[in-house]
Amino acid sequence: MIVTTRLLWLSHCSRVLGATRKSAQGPAFSVIRARLLTTDSSNFESLGLSKATAQRLTTAFNISEPTAMQRQLIPAIVSGKDVLLKDITGTGKSFAIATALVDIREPALYVVPNRELALQISGWVEKLTPDSPAQLVIAGEEHHTDHSNSPLTIGTASTMWSLVQNGQWENKRWKAVVVDEADQAFRLPGRYAHWKKRWNRKAHPKPAELVLETIMTAQASKPQVIMSSATMNRPLRHWLMEKQWIKDAVYINGLSPASAGVQHHCLIVSSDQVRNIQTQIDDEVVVGDVATDQDIDESMMECLETLCSIEPVKQGIIFVPNDGSFSQVMSKLHECDIDAIPLYESIAHGTQAQFYVATAMTGRGIDLPNISHVFIVGLSKTIDDYMHMAGRLGRLGQATDTAKVITIARDSKYVEAKVNSMFKLMNTSISMYAHVQ
């Protein structure tokens, strides 16, 4: 493969800038697939929502027709049955859940992975029911507005568990409990994980697990439980049944098609080179133990800065590792006069910019309407992380004809084997980046 030096590539970029599974089925599940649609579910009232809620969806959000997934999810929630939901990112799962809970007007707890998503959902709720905003349970004193009389409570599991430990948790005899991004919330060890990792996970349960144990122990009757994730897998579903949190559940496997037209690129960066990843690799290379931790160095930052300049970005998200490099990236972007802000500022304060900077955790589940590019600095730790980061594109049917996901990876041993293995498992093609030979 022909390799270009970093200096030649940057020179070329300057000229460019100048020129312009199969799903588990069993007796514990009632399986619904979103492709099996009825003809009488073309509006929200027909799904079981009140006329008032349907009207608010139209006036506040200009939404009158549900997505294919929402046509299955909303009736399942309204029925009161437990729900297990799996669908690709960007199909309106979180919005549909919030809408159904608002309409039911019973005490409901909505557990989300980050405060950014909690703020976004609470914003939706406030538009749907201005007289009854949700109670927020997230970090930050500025968000501790007292809406304790609201039927809907939204927050992160870590903050909720802190309240439980401090004796400040109020159990409202919840009628429904939702865990969004459930795979991330419980973070179960992999199927073939080492016994030490399994033991450690059992000895140190995650906050979401502890919160649900507290609720299930305190209540005489089990609440409706709704678990949602784009990457919910079979081990998680069976673990939930073993915990007896899920009974006679409706399992919705959306089967929505992935966003067409998105181009996936991976650039390999070293001190003197920027090149496309090699897609022809030694099949005998073992990639399971390849390190994914990649400190962001000057070469990677220079590559990112150039991409931000030459790409026709409407709005973009830059994902950085959760290793303390966030401030470093923000400083470098500002030094280069790139219009970038933390994603949290946009969600919390409505601040707009061309680029939003986030980690895989803080960007999970977030809906932004005009994202055309996703930049991932460093290797994704897991396939699920990559899918969720790339899933910020094509939200709710947005056009993806020119959308790109560009990974910037530091050259290291087996890095190409690792990336190629991930893309093969995702059944996703890697495109060669045009500005690199």
> In the Cβ-directed half-sphere of 199, how many Cα atoms lie within 13 Å?
3
Work out whether strand 404-410 and strand 263-269 pair parallel, antiparallel, or are unpaired: parallel
In this predicted model, which residue has the larger pLDDT, 203 or 356? 356
Q: What is the pLDDT of residues 329-346, one digit of tens each?
A: 999 899 989 999 999 999
**Which strands, in side-by-side order, build the sheet including 152-156?**
29-33, 249-253, 83-86, 224-229, 176-180, 108-112, 152-156, 135-137
pLDDT of residue 201: 82
Predicted confidence (pLDDT) at residue 286 exceeds the cutoff of 60? no
- Answer yes or no: are the C-beta atoms of 31 and 253 closer than 8 Å: yes
**Which strands, in side-by-side order, build the sheet including 274-276?**
274-276, 263-269, 404-410, 373-377, 316-319, 355-358, 340-342
pLDDT of residue 290: 45
Q: Which of 154, 164, 36, 180 is nearest to 102 (CA)?
A: 154
- Answer yes or no: are the C-beta atoms of 390 and 405 closer than 8 Å: yes
Confidence of residue 206 (pLDDT cuts 50, 70, 90): very high
Confidence of residue 6 (pLDDT cuts 50, 70, 90): low
DSSP conformation class of 14: H
Instruction: Give the separation between CA 107 and CA 152, rounded to whole angstroms.
Output: 6
Q: Please name each of the domains of the chain with its CATH number.
A: 29-253 (3.40.50.300), 258-425 (3.40.50.300)
- Which residues, 6+ apart, have CB-to-CB distance to 304 below 8 Å? 318, 329, 332, 375, 377, 408
Q: Which two tokens stand for residue 429?
A: 């093609």
Sign, CA dihedral 31-32-36-39, equals positive
Q: What integer is the mean pLDDT of 335-359?
A: 92
Predicted confidence (pLDDT) at residue 142 exceeds the cutoff of 60? no
Confidence of residue 187 (pLDDT cuts 50, 70, 90): confident
Q: Which two tokens stand for residue 248?
A: 């006679």
Quick one: how far is CA 292 from the chain centroid? Answer: 20
- Answer yes or no: are the C-beta atoms of 66 and 44 closer than 8 Å: yes
Q: What is the pLDDT of residues 25-62, one digit of tens each?
A: 444 555 554 433 444 567 899 999 999 999 999 999 99
